[in-house]
Amino acid sequence: MSNTAQGQILDFVRGRFPQAELDAAQDIFALGFVNSLFAMELVMFVEKTFGVTIPNDELRIDNFRTADSMAELVDRLARVAA
């Protein structure tokens, strides 16, 4: 398991799609990996793991395209909360 937010998110996505070779900059929406079930799991994973609540207006595809963009979102929300 990785310790960085980006690494933890990437581990989670790789765990769900073990047959794919993914890196942190790859667009998982463009790869066709995200169905509604997985999107929900992803949001719940991010909220639970990092103790943040994602506001509705941040639930946009652009914030969830890559492990990098999700880590940025977590960072931004953590700063707002701090």
Partner 1 sequence: MALIGVIGAGVMGVGVAQNLAQTGHDVVLVDKDEQILKEALETIARNARMSRLMGGPALDADEILSRITTSVGVGGAAEAEVVIENVTENWEVKRAVHEELDKVCGPDTVFVVNTSAIPITKMASITQRPDKVVGVHFMNPVPAKPACELIPGFHTSTETVERTRDLLKAMGKKAIDVKDACGFVSNRVLMLTVNEAAYLVHEGVATAESVDEVFRSCFGHPMGPLETADLIGVDTILYSVEVLYEHYADSKYRPCPLLKQMTDAGLHGRKSGRGFYTYN
Identified binder of partner 1 from the candidate list 8, 10, 25, 34, rule CB under 8 A: 34
Which phi and psi (to 5°) does residue 20 adopt? Answer: -105, 150
> Percentage helix, strand, coil, to 5, in the chain?
60, 0, 40
* Interaction of residue 22 with partner 1, rule CB under 8 A: no
Question: Min. distance of Cβ 22 from partner 1 in angstroms?
Answer: 14
What the block records as the tokens of 68 is 């990098």
The contact set with partner 1 (CB under 8 A) reads 11-12, 15-16, 18-19, 32, 34-37, 39-40, 43, 56, 59-61, 64
